[in-house]
Structure 1
Amino acid sequence: MKKLSKLFLTSAVILGIGSIGLAKTSQLTQAQSLVTKQPGTKNYGIYSKINAKGVSHKVASTSQFKVGHYQSNTSKKTRSGRYWYVYVDGHTVGWVNEKFFVRNKISVAKSVSLVKNEYGKFDTIDAINYVTDSHGTVINPTKVHTSARVISSAKAGNTQVNYTYGKAHASVNVVVRNDREEGISSANIVPKAGPKAISIKSGHRSNFNIATKATKLNNNGTKLSTLFFEPSTLSLRGSWLTQVGPIPEGLTVSNGWSTVSMLADSSDQRGHLVAYKNNEMSKFNTQKLTSLSLGSFKKLAANIKVSPYIRLGHAQSLGSTANYIYVIANDNKQSNSENSEEILQIRKSDMQIEKIWSFKIWNGSASGKRYIHNAVMVNDHTMYALFHNGGYHRYEYWKVTRVGDTWTPVEVGATQSDFVNGSPVQGFTYDANKKRFYIAYNDHIFKVKEDGEYLGKSSFNTNREIEGISVSGSKLYVQMAQRSEILSGSIK
């Protein structure tokens, strides 16, 4: 996706928050800049009225927004404790006791396992889910003190990394695996003949207006229609740390949930994952989330989860299973590199990182490096990865299998084609039922057998970009950008 200007980004987010106002203040109220608050797990009431004695007129409970994105810019100290006026997923809600928030806490991944690679390095900040101060306010992770900021993966070993911020502390073990040959394979498959590369026009139409008409696409055996339009953003306008969206970068669907990655800017490496329970979303009202009545908002928001502000890389390579979401957190600014890449395992329950692995794919040695920009996890042990070998004008398909913490790559197919001239892949997924890959560029979807045999393409004149594709069961799902929308349907 092309980078939005900061001026346009600001306008887009204003459109997203609609008519939300700020909390009324009094001489007892402490106003401050907008911050993110980390929700806890206990249930607290949310109230619309407050005075020096306390709160009254309950309007909601925190249990209705268990994994929501909480923001505030106002707090008030009363006889019954300090309360914060909160906005959840960008919608005004009310006052909640500060005890609800997670305070003086650093949450990190439970473990980190790195492939042995003399060129690889791990930034220990990548393991942080969130950091909070004594009021439950989320702190920029770069402000945390670490006992080791960067760990080389050149030598096998175990390093305990300690994190501290004020009274908060945490630690994680970072293990460098001891097999130097791990990740080294052979790209020796003779590629199947592919199509002549086509030139396509830019598919970037900046449109954050409210949609009132469903999308229907039908071309060459692919039929797609609107599942639901998404909110442009799930936050009030703020810093990159507090803002969710408005740029979608990836999609994965499993067990009835769609999970999308959202960045504040297309050049970011950190952002949020947002999960929607598909059959609870309204085709058109979900996009109006921030301006709905509180009653309607609560019904939808109860089925939306927002992760903390975590490192996602380019965030376009996702996968999901019954219990986890997987992110291959690559850096799309690297055309090809000897560096290792990270796989994040994220719990669906609370949208936080459980484990991090790194992996590499080399053809024989580092000189045959395969830095992966597009991949998809299809179960908890298997990933398919796509590599564009531009020098030889072909695409390679790799199956990477995990046993324990070891990731072993095997080339399974190749296609002699660039498919598209000069345009990056916007989406990549695997259809286990048909044993084929789908590769998306702007509004084109190419179909390829697992061994690389070209099957055809579907093209749509939408003047929009596909930002992610996923297969769940017999259905194909597509994430479209501006306005953000998830389509579902079938493909022959």
Structure 2
Amino acid sequence: MKKKLKHNLLIASATVAISLFFVGSNSNIQAKNYHQAVTKIAGDGNFAVYHRVSKNGPAGKFTSTKYFKHGQIQSKQSLATKKGTFWKIIVDGHPVGWVNQNFFARNEISVAKKVSLVQNSDFSFKTRDAINYVTDSAGTAVNTGKVSVSKASVSSATPGKTTIEYQYGKAKASVDVTVRDDKNEGISRAALTPKNGPKEVATWKGSSKSSSRNWNAAHHYTSETRANTFHANGLTLKTKLFQPRFVSLGYHEAGDQMGQVGVIPEGISVNGPDFTVALFKSSHDQNGHLVTYNLNHVNKFTAQNLANLKWSTFKRYAANIKVSPYIKLGHGQAIGSSADYIYVIANNNTASNSSASEEILQIRKSDMKINQIWSFRIWSGAFPRYIHNATFDGDNTMYCLFHNGGNGYYEYWKVTRNGDTWTPEEVGATKGNFVSNHSPVQGFTYDSNRKQFYIGFNDYIFRVDQNGTYKKTYHFNVKREIEGLSAAGNKLYVEFAQRGELTAGQIK
């Protein structure tokens, strides 16, 4: 009997030991598991990252959260221990380790510092547009639609200030929304005679007709291993960066709408070493993420494999890739940047020529959060110019492209900021439609050194002087859509779709 009892005790002890071993090895035992990931929001502090946890606490410290706080953080597993609750985090799609729940921004609503609106009776500001993120008591991101807001919208018809209060559980925030008092702000005159444009060219309508070598089902969307060189009429573009398909967990794993980063690029900006791209789950979305890569610290091929990089390489890359919260970006193709900020017009690309104002988001590069929001308008007398494509030259100037389809010409507008006021001035115009099938503009940028615009349609780029004088056409014949243009220094940067590929060429 004693031998049998001893035998049973040994079995029980072994079972407990095995159970504890598997908890420490990140198994499902004693942990809360999520079939799909939740999105987590980093707080300001730095915390240790551990290999293992058990009911007694963490073990095997091997790195710090300081390398990962600006990445896309997700989790499928948490564990309550004697030393607090720990979450196993995945950053930019790469498994990392276990961190204390105190690392996350808990019970917090992050909003823009201020919102300033141009006076316009045809526009009301949706107050949830000012939200960066909302978190619950565990630091998990919450759909902004669940937030209680004191007013769902603010009309910009009458000057004045309205304080908007936000609340979700214990989390609270507020922002002042001010309507500016100049009723004529944004009203100018389109009076320039359009310059002669190029002969219209034929191109396809719809999505790309081709892809990079491996971006297809036959090659299982594997990584590219050879750089490209594209030539067109004296402009040579070379691969600068092949981007990852996702900067997060992929399809069916990113469980909430805030989680998936990718797979559709829609606009780019390059300033110094910083390359920013707007990414969406689908081309119909109005909300998405901005991702900024430090081009000095990422290899043109290696970044494609974020989820599978060896640890030392991933840690270095994670510190040089920043992901914004899931925010309203409009179509994402009216974008630019300065040394410290990213600027996006959060427009509606399905609006043909609305009289509504449009929102400019100023986003801090330091933490990828909305700093402030302005609305602006461009009207020629009583006739609105709703902007689909724009670029920014520093912090106080943007250039906007407007297509007058009825009269068949393009207008170029310079809009200058003084304080919170945005003043438009027409600087040029070009006759014609550039392409023959009404295919939309897919890239627009301004070369401030030469005072020239670049306009992209599918795999065509047109170069035009600031006053609208047509200069040159570049046709790369790669049958991949151009998804963004950016002029910086002496280089023109061009983003191609499928796979997202940043190329660069010398401007002559």
Relative to the length of structure 2, the TM-score reads: 0.91
Give the Cα–Cα distance (whole angstroms) in 1 for the partners of residues 28 and 279 of structure 2.
Answer: 35
Q: Where do 1:78-93 residues align within 5 Å?
A: 78-93=81-96
Would the aligned equivalents of 1:88 and 1:235 in 2 still touch at CA under 8 Å?
A: yes
SS of alignment partner, residue 276 of structure 1: strand
Q: Where do 1:193-272 residues align within 5 Å?
A: 193-202=196-205, 203-205=208-210, 207=215, 208-237=221-250, 238=254, 239-272=256-289
Which residue of 327, 336, 340 corresponds with 1:319? 336
Aligned to 1:11: none
Query: Which AA in structure 2 matches 1:211?
Result: E
Query: Which AA in structure 2 matches 1:181?
Result: N
Aligned to 2:29: 27
The superposition leaves residues 117-138 of structure 1 with CA deviations (integer Å, 9 ceiling, x where unpaired) of: 0101100000000000000000
Give the Cα–Cα distance (whole angstroms) in 2 for the partners of residues 351 and 404 of structure 1.
Answer: 22
Which residue of 435, 445, 450 corresponds with 1:420? 435
SS of alignment partner, residue 313 of structure 2: helix
Aligned to 2:20: none
Name the stretch that deviates more: 452-461 or 288-297.
288-297
Aligned to 2:366: 349
Q: Give the C-alpha shift of residue 24 in structure 1.
A: 4.0
Give the Cα–Cα distance (whole angstroms) in 1 for the partners of residues 139 and 57 of structure 2.
Answer: 20
Query: Which AA in structure 1 matches 2:410?
Result: Y
Aligned to 1:8: none
SS of alignment partner, residue 379 of structure 1: coil
Give the Cα–Cα distance (whole angstroms) in 1 for the partners of residues 503 and 198 of structure 2.
Answer: 27
Q: Give the C-alpha shift of residue 144 in structure 1.
A: 0.5
Which residue of 101, 105, 111 corresponds with 2:104? 101
Aligned to 1:13: none
The number of residues matched between the two structures is 468
Would the aligned equivalents of 2:89 and 2:99 in 1 still touch at CA under 8 Å?
A: yes
Q: Give the C-alpha shift of residue 60 in structure 1.
A: 2.5
The superposition leaves residues 14-72 of structure 1 with CA deviations (integer Å, 9 ceiling, x where unpaired) of: xxxxxxxxx94333101124110001121111111111111112232111113111000
Q: Give the C-alpha shift of residue 300 in structure 1.
A: 1.1
SS of alignment partner, residue 383 of structure 1: strand
Name the stretch that deviates more: 248-257 or 235-244.
235-244
Would the aligned equivalents of 2:267 and 2:443 in 1 still touch at CA under 8 Å?
A: yes
Aligned to 2:399: 384
Q: CA RMSD in A?
A: 1.1
- Is residue 298 from structure 1 mapped to residue 315 from structure 2 by the alignment? yes
Which residue of 145, 149, 164 corresponds with 1:146? 149
Which residue of 55, 58, 74 corresponds with 1:55? 58
The superposition leaves residues 428-468 of structure 1 with CA deviations (integer Å, 9 ceiling, x where unpaired) of: 00000110000001111100000000001111111211101
Would the aligned equivalents of 2:210 and 2:478 in 1 still touch at CA under 8 Å?
A: no
- Is residue 175 from structure 1 mapped to residue 178 from structure 2 by the alignment? yes
Which residue of 32, 39, 44 corresponds with 1:41? 44
Give the Cα–Cα distance (whole angstroms) in 1 for the partners of residues 342 and 159 of structure 2.
Answer: 28
Give the Cα–Cα distance (whole angstroms) in 2 for the partners of residues 463 and 453 of structure 1.
Answer: 27
Would the aligned equivalents of 2:26 and 2:52 in 1 still touch at CA under 8 Å?
A: no
SS of alignment partner, residue 430 of structure 1: strand
Query: Which AA in structure 2 matches 1:318?
Result: I
Give the Cα–Cα distance (whole angstroms) in 2 for the partners of residues 49 and 234 of structure 1.
Answer: 25
Give the Cα–Cα distance (whole angstroms) in 2 for the partners of residues 119 and 445 of structure 1.
Answer: 35
The superposition leaves residues 68-123 of structure 1 with CA deviations (integer Å, 9 ceiling, x where unpaired) of: 11000110011111000000001011101100000000000000000000101100
Aligned to 2:10: none
Give the Cα–Cα distance (whole angstroms) in 2 for the partners of residues 234 and 35 of structure 1.
Answer: 15
SS of alignment partner, residue 180 of structure 1: coil
Runs of 4+ deviating beyond 4 Å = none
Aligned to 1:20: none
Query: Which AA in structure 2 matches 1:309?
Result: Y
Aligned to 1:289: 306
Which residue of 415, 420, 427 corresponds with 1:400? 415
Q: Give the C-alpha shift of residue 485 in structure 1.
A: 1.1
Q: Percent identity?
A: 53
Give the Cα–Cα distance (whole angstroms) in 2 for the partners of residues 255 and 284 of structure 1.
Answer: 20
SS of alignment partner, residue 391 of structure 1: coil
Query: Which AA in structure 1 matches 2:457?
Result: Y
Give the Cα–Cα distance (whole angstroms) in 2 for the partners of residues 62 and 204 of structure 1.
Answer: 42
Give the Cα–Cα distance (whole angstroms) in 1 for the partners of residues 72 and 487 of structure 2.
Answer: 27
Q: Give the C-alpha shift of residue 204 in structure 1.
A: 3.8
Aligned to 1:74: 77
Q: Unaligned stretches of 5+ in structure 2? A: 1-24, 216-220
Relative to the length of structure 1, the TM-score reads: 0.94
Q: Give the C-alpha shift of residue 279 in structure 1.
A: 1.2
- Is residue 333 from structure 1 mapped to residue 336 from structure 2 by the alignment? no
The superposition leaves residues 332-380 of structure 1 with CA deviations (integer Å, 9 ceiling, x where unpaired) of: 0111100000000000000000000000011101xx1100000011111
- Report which of the two structures shows the higher radius of gyration computed on alpha carbons: 2
Would the aligned equivalents of 2:402 and 2:411 in 1 still touch at CA under 8 Å?
A: yes
Give the Cα–Cα distance (whole angstroms) in 2 for the partners of residues 177 and 287 of structure 1.
Answer: 45
Give the Cα–Cα distance (whole angstroms) in 1 for the partners of residues 198 and 491 of structure 2.
Answer: 26
Q: Unaligned stretches of 5+ in structure 1? A: 1-22
Aligned to 1:280: 297
Q: Give the C-alpha shift of residue 317 in structure 1.
A: 1.1
Aligned to 1:6: none
The superposition leaves residues 131-184 of structure 1 with CA deviations (integer Å, 9 ceiling, x where unpaired) of: 000000000111111000011111111100000000000000000111111100
Query: Which AA in structure 2 matches 1:470?
Result: S
Would the aligned equivalents of 2:42 and 2:104 in 1 still touch at CA under 8 Å?
A: yes
